[in-house]
Amino acid sequence: MPVGHRGVDRPGRATKKGDAMSQDVEAVPAGAVVVGVDGTDKDQRAVRWAADEAERRRTGLHLIYAVAWTEYSRVYGVVSSANLDRIHDTAQRIVDDAARQAREGHPDLTVTSAVVMEDAATALVHASRHAGVIILGARGLGRIAGRLLGSVSQKVTAHAHGPVIVVRDTVPVPGAPVVVGVDPLDQPPEVIQFAFEEARRRGLGVRIVHAAPRERPLPEFRDAEVEHMRETAAAEEARAVEQLAAEWSGRYPDVPVEVHEARRHPVEALVEESANASVVVVGSRARHGLAELRLGSVARGVLYEAPVVAVVRVEAAQPTAA
């Protein structure tokens, strides 16, 4: 079924803002898959992934190239109008190349684009207010790159108003399931729903991973009663995970579901599962103040290591009035 209009490539609206050009956030099509491009080798993976995602969602693809105006001002001093136009034209060529790449495999996909004179993370966070999902490319896996995450990816995943998918490497096993980490004691529905929606769109199954390390108690607490309590608690958690799986399987009867229990740290378990996953889905709770500057430890750890990770923002529950 066609998606949008054949081969459409419309530049986003840019407006003057002081001496710079700035993208109006309203120019982002509602519900579009938004992908950030920067002209590096990360673009190819991210654009291909984003185009596939847009077609599955039956929505448009919106490409954003952000030029940090403050950085250019710092390096070059006062940038002339001619230099600004030259910078903009170069960026537009990069966006146009990415749009052509997206249309190669999806000729019916509606593709829009924008060049913005703004910090990349800021532009993408603003775009996330209207986007269905943000797609970002990141450095490939490796001893060093696997431990580093670009500052743009860190900021966007921490501050975005919707889900963000970070594509670090290609999926090793075509047709692999969507993996989602769960905690039966505190499971935000947004996270598991995103996993099931992704799986249904892709015609894949969901693998629910419950990871809980079994730490040995201190010697003075090692007795039969304590061990029985620990085993009972573990069994109760396992039953709760099975009930969670059954509940969501009932909501998505066309999505195969399997449950995996792992007695290890959640990051270790999810990273191991990522080797046989199309995408790993994790949640990140919305924070305020200084805590906003960082992701939760599980989300951050998985982002450092897994090839493709979807981070779903979870809004904190509002306190009830006394």
Let me know: does 309 contact 180? Beta carbons within 8 Å: no
Tokens of 179: 């993996």
d(CA 305, CA 165) in angstroms, rounded, equals: 14
Phi-psi region of 142 (alpha: psi -120 to 50; beta: other; left: phi over 0): left
pLDDT tens-place values along the chain, 322 residues long: 333 333 344 444 333 333 333 345 558 999 999 999 998 888 999 999 999 999 999 999 999 999 876 555 555 555 566 677 788 888 899 999 999 999 998 999 999 999 988 889 999 999 999 999 999 998 754 444 444 456 788 889 989 999 999 998 777 677 899 999 998 888 889 999 999 999 999 999 999 999 877 666 556 656 666 666 667 777 888 899 999 999 999 999 999 999 999 988 899 999 999 999 999 999 987 554 434 444 567 888 898 889 999 999 887 654 444 4
Contacts of residue 322, defined as CB under 8 A and 6 or more positions apart, other chains included, come to none
Quote the pTM value: 0.81
d(CA 70, CA 243) in angstroms, rounded, equals: 52
Residue intervals of the chain classified under CATH 3.40.50.620 are 9-167, 178-314
Let me know: does 212 contact 263? Beta carbons within 8 Å: yes
DSSP 264: S
Fold for 178-314, please state it: Rossmann fold (3.40.50)
Let me know: does 302 contact 272? Beta carbons within 8 Å: no
The domain 9-167 is placed in CATH, from the list 3.90.230.10, 3.40.50.720, 3.40.50.620, 3.80.10.10, at: 3.40.50.620
